[in-house]
Amino acid sequence: MAYDVFLVSAIEDRDMAKLVARRLRSLKFKVWFDQKQTDNTFDAKDARNAGNSESMLVIWSENAVKSDWVRAAASVGHSRPGMLAQASLDKTIPYQPFKQDKRYSLEGMTSRKTPEGFYQLIEELGKRQNRSGLREWMGLGSKDEEERDAWLEAHPEDPLAIDDKKKREKALGIKPPPAAEAAGAAALAAASVRAPSSKYSQAASSRPVTKATASPASSNGGVAAKAEDLGMGWGTLAAVGAAIVVMFFMSWVFRSQTIAPATTQAGLPAVGNAYRLTEACPAGQVPASLIKVLEPGPIINDTKEPEE
């Protein structure tokens, strides 16, 4: 985010810095100010925010000249021509090279009292942003409605006038137009949704759109049109239809055949769908395969010693 003012002060002068930041923001300056700062280290984040700011306002005081953070930040602001602006809370004179530059006195400044140095500081910061008439605006009270309206009308491009216009439109229920970045992102999102997702849709989108009229003589005209939109011809439709017919026929054939009952026996190999077919025998009869085993033969006395 870009800032108009990067505000620098000692931790001990935080209350006065808050007052200055509040006054600047009431004039619609975008101010960077770390009111929760606890150390005196000017780190990479501080350097990045300072680089994104148009001006750096350093508030000098007896405490500020002793702060490493204030001196480091002021050195960064001084290194960029036209960036540094200085104010002072007391008679303390900063060291070189800052004591030679102009400093606006804020001595005696309170929430109800505005010193001349603050008016001059606002004029300087406004000049850097091509804003004029800010001293006049600061002199107008809440009861000077006509004068305030006249000032806003005379400065339509000033952030104060733009903010007042937004408030009036909001009160009337008028929604502001989307920002340029948001509008561009919405346009890209809509284009990605409308973009064709396949070569068939790309080919279809490249064809000129013609208005077709329904004809009672052709009852399958709608099917043909849909087939063309999907990139399929009559040959493809015929092949799909034939495959469906074959599938139905095969299912009917296999369903009409009976399958011999299978018995599961222990000791068979654990192979899926494997079973052994056994020959059925009527009840009360001996299977022919066992008759040969049951035929009587010669009786042999195996209790006697064999004759030599």
For the residues of 236-248, what is the DSSP string, one character each? Answer: HHHHHHHHHHHHH
pLDDT reported for residue 135: 94
- pLDDT for res 214: 43
pLDDT at 215: 45
Could you give the C-alpha distances from 283 to 209, 260, 280, 287, 291, in angstroms and in order?
81, 20, 9, 10, 16
- Neighbouring-strand partners of residue 96: none
Domain definitions of the chain by residue range: 3-139, 143-179
**pLDDT by residue for the chain (308 residues), tens digit each?**
699 999 999 999 999 999 999 999 999 999 999 888 888 888 889 999 999 999 999 999 999 999 999 999 999 999 999 999 999 999 999 988 898 889 999 999 998 999 999 999 999 999 999 999 999 999 998 889 999 999 999 999 999 999 999 999 888 887 766 666 666 666 666 666 555 544 444 544 555 544 444 444 444 555 555 545 555 567 788 888 888 888 888 877 776 555 555 454 545 455 455 445 455 566 666 666 655 555 566 666 666 665 65
Look at residue 219 in the predicted model and tell me its pLDDT: 46
Superfamily name and number for 3-139:
Toll/interleukin-1 receptor homology (TIR) domain (3.40.50.10140)
The span from the CA of 117 to the CA of 109, in Å, is 9
pLDDT at 293: 54
pLDDT for position 119? 96
pTM to 2 decimals?
A: 0.57
Q: 58 to each of 5, 86, 126, 144, how far by Cα in Å?
A: 10, 5, 16, 33
